[in-house]
């Protein structure tokens, strides 16, 4: 965009003159919009479609209404009055993952919840982005040593932006979302991460002691997630 | 207050428990007597006499409140402790200690006496591994069904791999229905759902629009709080965690629960000035927590995201600003210390007082606005009046406390009945309602905000007048605390949701050997089927909202 052509002090005389010289004076008034003047002499914007789409994606984000733990309270505060995330093109939360393209993971993920979170993530349409909110989604946070705590959201789903804090202040979350928008607008894709915990059919799991033990309890077609606590960070 | 006559036979002239009378009542069922710092007497009974012991204590001695069931493993035995109290006077406490053998840890269920034992014993089975005979539903509650081992037992290997399933749920009533017309539908509400206030999973069976069966499935936020606290030292490492139990800015109330129990265990005095600061901070937290309850409830029952919800959050922001001034944090305060608080009020003090007074001055007007928007709104009344009825006797049997119990007319508030802090010096009232429905629970919370404002105002006045040389914020506490081996205590405070208690057993080291959290939400949530079964599904959502649960505290 050539918006830097506007002259100082709000005067657009020079532009108007150039345009009149090109298009002839006395044309219809509706062409003389502020926007036109801002664009400069040419009435067209030239950009790559990809770039345009990236800009659109970053400027109109549909967040998933997804609360887990303490961070979700600060997340609600970020959506609510005073901080109002809506101002930053990251609109009203959507209750259904099928309508959302950004998921904020706000809290500790425990063994029972990780498969469910994976399912919710899988239900979101591509392209989708993930903001990990709080220390728990980075490493398990203060509960890292717990027997039931998944050591970070990245064990289950890929994460684009990590916002540290316990919990992060609303300002920090807004900054994280703004950073995500910047990345999307620049066309940067989410980092490729190794996700050790996959949701798979129980029958497909590698046979080992634990799987053998549970074989008579769990149906072959049932989806399941296997946690290797010993290898966790 | 209960209408039953005072039981003279087990109480002495001052209304306190007479230990000898308890022993006489239980006769030769008592194997031994232990010492619990909180309880008037702790009796040891055989695992196969639990039911009759609890029934005798409930019916003959008036112990109608089973506050908590603690399970723990010793080197040589398992042990379940039933912490019994009286709703009329919670300072009357009896502990029933039930040992079970190491190779066959089976104990009789207390379910026949107190229905709250259902979930508590399931938790004990899940985490420690004691099995309860005659229990109606002996399954895991917090951990996934397929989990191997009991995490808080001594031989548990934390590095062992685990498999967790994501299965389809069958309709539990499918087999019961035989005719074509009476078809039931199974519906999962949660664990990712806007109306569940977190990661709660409600398995609901609908018959048309009526709720035929409802069962809460919890454990989606079980963050091993008890294990983490057992691995922390008393002095500093435990205090940050209570903030994360009931995380809706109710942190100081939770910290007080730990502070009270630990100060009791290690015999620490708290200076009066610090008690006033604590009282003020705790009540500010209560206001913030009740505001959230109000806002989300309005969101639940008529989807009001734009007005009431935002208003409630506006007011929470104000409270959080005051708390941030005081503690340096918006939510996770970590402000209490054993023996006092971390630091004095912020300087300049006048600014802090002004900030707090401005909030208090504006509060009556705001509450009036809420009443206009909520309680006097016809739609709201249609949704809430006479729905989700919780009878006081049922509430007591499930160990319900806090606004949920008080809205059913159970006059139980630990701030008055088992005084701590500075509450007994101040002028305020316990709010009770006898509506027993969703409406009464909302009304109770709104009136409690007013009472909290009264308390905060008196505290501010006191703090302003406090002579400068007497502002001791902490007493002298040793750097390392090592309470005596085998001292046990259970202490509770009135948190935003009800009785929040901590059981701690010391083993002579600087870390607790057993740390057990009695969460009010855990007991309150148990009453959901009583309120919702047979009602319409929108009433189920309203009932769930009016219980005001926080999953961080339910699951711990």
Residue A7 clears pLDDT 60, i.e. is over it: no
CB within 8 Å: A213 and B148: yes
| Each residue's pLDDT tens digit, B499-549 | 999 999 998 898 999 999 999 999 999 999 999 888 898 889 889 989 888
- Domain co-membership, B307 together with B210: no
Contact B151, B224 (CB under 8 A): yes
- Domain co-membership, B324 together with B419: yes
| Each residue's pLDDT tens digit, B381-412 | 888 888 889 999 999 999 999 999 999 999 99
Within 10 angstroms of residue B530's Cβ, the number of other Cβ atoms is 19
Q: Residue A142: which of B161, B227, B240 has the nearest Cβ? A: B240
CB proximity A84 to B under 8 Å: no
Reduce the DSSP state of residue A164 to 3 states and report it.
coil
- Domain co-membership, B213 together with B230: no
| Each residue's pLDDT tens digit, A8-64 | 556 667 766 776 676 666 555 555 666 666 666 666 677 788 888 888 888 888 888
B208-244 in b/e form (b: 16+ CB < 10 A) is: eeebbbbebbbbbbbbbbbbbbbebebbeebbbbbbb
Stronger pLDDT, B182 or B347, i.e. the higher one: B347
Can you give the CATH number for the domain in which B94 is found?
Answer: 3.30.460.80
pLDDT for the residue numbered B10? 73
Cross-strand pairs, B202: B189, B216
Residue A5 clears pLDDT 50, i.e. is over it: no
pLDDT for the residue numbered B310? 87
- Domain co-membership, B329 together with B422: yes
Partners of residue B158 in chain A, C-beta under 8 Å: 147, 229
CA–CA distance, B49 with B100 (Å, rounded to integer):
12
pLDDT for the residue numbered B501? 92
pLDDT for the residue numbered B1? 43
| Each residue's pLDDT tens digit, A158-204 | 888 999 998 899 999 999 999 998 888 887 766 666 677 888 888 88
Q: Would you mind telling me the total number of residues written for chain B in this entry?
A: 556
Strand pairing class (B201-207; B184-189): antiparallel
Give burial (CB, 10 Å; 0-12/13-18/19+) of B112.
Answer: middle
CA–CA distance, A180 with A188 (Å, rounded to integer):
9
User: By CA distance, what is A221's nearest residue in B?
Assistant: B167
Structure tokens that stand for B297 in this block = 């409830």
pLDDT for the residue numbered B499? 92
CA–CA distance, B182 with B175 (Å, rounded to integer):
12
Q: Residue B192: which of A80, A111, A120 has the nearest Cβ? A: A120
User: By CA distance, what is A92's nearest residue in B?
Assistant: B305
Residue B126 clears pLDDT 60, i.e. is over it: yes
Partners of residue B163 in chain A, C-beta under 8 Å: 202, 205, 210-211, 214, 218, 224-227
pLDDT for the residue numbered B405? 92
Best of A73, A74, A112 to disrupt the B interface (most B CBs within 10 Å) is A112
Stronger pLDDT, A31 or B369, i.e. the higher one: B369
- Domain co-membership, B188 together with B297: no
CB within 8 Å: B161 and A208: yes
Residue B353 clears pLDDT 90, i.e. is over it: yes
Within 10 angstroms of residue B462's Cβ, the number of other Cβ atoms is 18
pLDDT for the residue numbered B176? 61
- Domain co-membership, B323 together with B408: yes
- Domain co-membership, B126 together with B245: no
CA–CA distance, B178 with B66 (Å, rounded to integer):
40
CA–CA distance, B182 with B169 (Å, rounded to integer):
20
- Domain co-membership, B522 together with B444: yes
Partners of residue B248 in chain A, C-beta under 8 Å: 73
Start-end of CATH 3.40.50.12280 domains in chain A: 56-185
Partners of residue A82 in chain B, C-beta under 8 Å: 313-314, 317
Strand order in the sheet with A161-163: A102-106, A129-133, A161-163
Strand pairing class (A129-133; A102-106): parallel
Domain A56-185 is found in CATH 1.10.260.40: no
Q: Residue B310: which of A81, A213, A223 has the nearest Cβ? A: A81
CA–CA distance, B233 with B221 (Å, rounded to integer):
24
Partners of residue A73 in chain B, C-beta under 8 Å: 247-249, 292, 331
CB within 8 Å: B191 and A113: yes
Confidence label for B167 from pLDDT (cuts 50, 70 and 90): confident
CB within 8 Å: A148 and B158: no
Within 10 angstroms of residue B522's Cβ, the number of other Cβ atoms is 25
Q: Residue B331: which of A73, A148, A199 has the nearest Cβ? A: A73
Whether residue B357 is preceded by a cis peptide bond, meaning omega within 30 degrees of 0, is: no
Closest CA to B49 of B101, B121, B98: B98
CB within 8 Å: A210 and B163: yes
Contact A71, A133 (CB under 8 A): yes
CB proximity A202 to B under 8 Å: yes
Can you give the CATH number for the domain in which B420 is found?
Answer: 1.10.645.10
Helices B537-547, B272-302: axis angle to 10 degrees equals 170
- Domain co-membership, B110 together with B42: yes
Last-in-domain residue among B166, B186, B207: B166
pLDDT for the residue numbered B259? 93
Within 10 angstroms of residue B109's Cβ, the number of other Cβ atoms is 21
Partners of residue A119 in chain B, C-beta under 8 Å: 166
| Each residue's pLDDT tens digit, B127-162 | 998 999 888 888 899 998 888 889 998 888 888 888
For chain B, what is the domain count? Answer: 3
CB proximity A173 to B under 8 Å: no
Q: Residue B228: which of A65, A69, A146 has the nearest Cβ? A: A146
B445-456 in b/e form (b: 16+ CB < 10 A) is: bbbbbebbbbbb
The CA-based dihedral angle spanning residues A184, A187, A188, A192, taken in that order and rounded to the nearest 10 degrees? 100
Give burial (CB, 10 Å; 0-12/13-18/19+) of B68.
Answer: buried
CB within 8 Å: B161 and A95: no
Contact B530, B390 (CB under 8 A): yes
Residue A1 clears pLDDT 50, i.e. is over it: no
CB proximity A204 to B under 8 Å: no
Q: Using CB atoms and an 8 Å cut-off, which of residues 214-243 of chain B contact chain A?
A: 219-225, 227-228, 231, 240-241
Partners of residue B217 in chain A, C-beta under 8 Å: none
Cross-strand pairs, B68: B83
- Domain co-membership, B213 together with B232: no
Closest CA to B114 of B48, B65, B42, B46: B65
Q: Residue A226: which of B145, B163, B552 has the nearest Cβ? A: B163
Report ipTM (2 d.p.): 0.86
Contact B10, B60 (CB under 8 A): yes
CB proximity B146 to A under 8 Å: yes
Reduce the DSSP state of residue A101 to 3 states and report it.
coil
Reduce the DSSP state of residue A199 to 3 states and report it.
strand
pLDDT for the residue numbered B446? 92
Strand order in the sheet with B162-166: A199-201, A223-227, B162-166
CB proximity B245 to A under 8 Å: no
Q: Residue B161: which of A68, A210, A223 has the nearest Cβ? A: A210
CA angle, B123 as apex, B122 and B129 as ends, to 5°? 85
Partners of residue B240 in chain A, C-beta under 8 Å: 142
Residue B290 clears pLDDT 60, i.e. is over it: yes
CA–CA distance, B309 with B449 (Å, rounded to integer):
16
* B380 alpha-carbon distance from chain centroid: 27
CB proximity B409 to A under 8 Å: no
Confidence label for A155 from pLDDT (cuts 50, 70 and 90): confident
Residue B292 clears pLDDT 50, i.e. is over it: yes
| Each residue's pLDDT tens digit, B248-257 | 878 899 999 9
Strand pairing class (B30-34; A223-227): unpaired
Structure tokens that stand for B525 in this block = 């949530």
Structure tokens that stand for B204 in this block = 């609901």
**Structural domain boundaries, residue B54:** 1-166
């Amino acid at each position: 965009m050539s918006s830097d052509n506007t002259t100082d002090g709000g005067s657009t005389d020079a532009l108007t003159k150039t345009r009149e010289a090109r298009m002839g004076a006395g044309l219809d008034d509706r062409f003389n919009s502020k926007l036109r003047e801002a664009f400069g002499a040419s009435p067209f914007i030239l950009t790559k479609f990809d770039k345009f789409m990236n800009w659109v994606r970053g400027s109109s984000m549909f967040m998933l209404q997804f609360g887990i733990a303490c961070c979700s309270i600060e997340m609600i505060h970020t959506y609510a009055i005073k901080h109002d995330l809506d101002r930053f093109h990251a609109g009203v939360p959507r209750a259904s993952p099928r309508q959302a393209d950004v998921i904020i993971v706000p809290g500790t993920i425990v063994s029972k919840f990780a498969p469910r979170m994976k399912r919710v993530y899988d239900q979101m349409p591509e392209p989708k982005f993930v903001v990990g909110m709080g220390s728990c989604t980075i490493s398990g946070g203060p509960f890292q040593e717990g027997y039931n705590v998944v050591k970070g959201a990245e064990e289950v789903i890929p994460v684009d932006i990590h916002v540290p804090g316990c919990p992060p202040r609303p300002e920090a979350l807004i900054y994280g979302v703004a950073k995500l928008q910047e990345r999307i607008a620049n066309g940067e894709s989410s980092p490729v991460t190794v996700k050790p915990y996959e949701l798979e059919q129980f029958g497909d799991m590698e046979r080992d002691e634990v799987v053998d033990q549970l074989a008579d309890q769990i149906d072959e077609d049932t989806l399941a997630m296997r946690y290797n606590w010993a290898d966790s960070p | 207050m209960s209408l039953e006559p005072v039981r003279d036979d087990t109480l002495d002239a001052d209304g306190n428990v007479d230990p000898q009378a308890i022993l006489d009542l239980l006769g030769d069922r008592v194997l031994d007597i232990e010492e619990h710092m909180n309880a008037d007497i702790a009796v040891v009974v055989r695992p196969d006499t639990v039911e009759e012991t609890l029934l005798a204590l409930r019916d003959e001695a008036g112990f109608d409140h089973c506050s908590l069931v603690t399970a723990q493993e010793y080197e040589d035995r398992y042990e379940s402790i039933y912490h019994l109290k009286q709703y009329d006077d919670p300072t009357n406490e009896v502990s029933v200690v039930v040992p079970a053998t190491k190779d066959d840890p089976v104990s009789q269920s207390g379910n026949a006496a107190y229905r709250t034992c259902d979930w508590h014993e399931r938790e004990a089975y899940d985490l420690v591994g004691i099995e309860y005979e005659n229990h109606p539903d002996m399954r895991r509650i917090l951990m996934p069904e397929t989990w191997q081992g009991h995490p808080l037992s001594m031989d548990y290997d934390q590095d062992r791999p685990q498999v967790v399933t994501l299965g389809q749920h069958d309709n539990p009533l499918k087999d019961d229905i035989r005719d074509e017309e009476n078809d039931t539908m199974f519906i999962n509400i949660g664990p990712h759902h806007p109306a569940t206030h977190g990661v709660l999973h409600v398995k609901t069976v609908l018959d048309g629009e009526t709720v035929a069966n409802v069962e809460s499935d919890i454990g989606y936020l079980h963050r091993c709080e008890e294990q983490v606290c057992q691995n922390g030292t008393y002095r500093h490492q435990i205090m940050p965690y209570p903030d994360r139990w009931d995380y809706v800015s109710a942190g100081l109330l939770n910290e007080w629960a730990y502070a009270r129990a630990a100060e009791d265990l290690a015999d620490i005095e708290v200076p009066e000035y610090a008690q006033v600061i604590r009282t003020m901070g705790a009540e500010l937290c209560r206001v913030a927590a009740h505001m959230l309850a109000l806002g989300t409830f309005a969101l639940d029952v008529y989807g009001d995201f734009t007005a009431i919800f935002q208003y409630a959050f506006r007011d929470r922001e104000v409270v959080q600003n005051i708390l941030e001034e005081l503690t340096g944090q918006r939510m996770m305060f970590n402000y209490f210390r054993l023996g006092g608080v971390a630091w004095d009020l912020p300087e300049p003090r006048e600014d802090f007082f002004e900030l707090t007074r401005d909030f208090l001055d504006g509060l009556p007007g705001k509450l009036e606005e809420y009443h206009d928007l909520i309680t006097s709104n016809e739609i709201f009344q249609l949704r809430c009046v006479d729905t989700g009825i919780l009878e006081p006797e049922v509430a007591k049997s499930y160990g319900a406390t806090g606004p949920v119990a008080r809205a059913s007319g159970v006059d139980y508030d630990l701030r008055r009945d088992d005084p701590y802090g500075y509450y007994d010096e101040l002028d305020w009232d316990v709010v009770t309602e006898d509506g027993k429905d969703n409406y009464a629970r909302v009304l109770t919370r709104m009136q409690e905000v007013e009472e909290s404002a009264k308390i905060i105002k008196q505290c501010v006045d006191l703090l302003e007048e406090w002579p400068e040389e007497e502002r001791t914020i902490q007493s002298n506490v040793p750097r390392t605390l090592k309470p005596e081996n085998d001292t046990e205590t259970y202490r509770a405070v009135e948190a935003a949701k009800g009785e929040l208690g901590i059981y701690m057993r010391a083993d002579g080291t600087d870390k607790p050997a057993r740390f057990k959290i009695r969460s009010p939400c855990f007991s309150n949530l148990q009453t959901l089927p009583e309120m919702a079964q047979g009602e319409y599904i929108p009433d189920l959502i309203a009932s769930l909202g009016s219980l005001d649960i926080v999953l961080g505290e339910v699951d711990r």
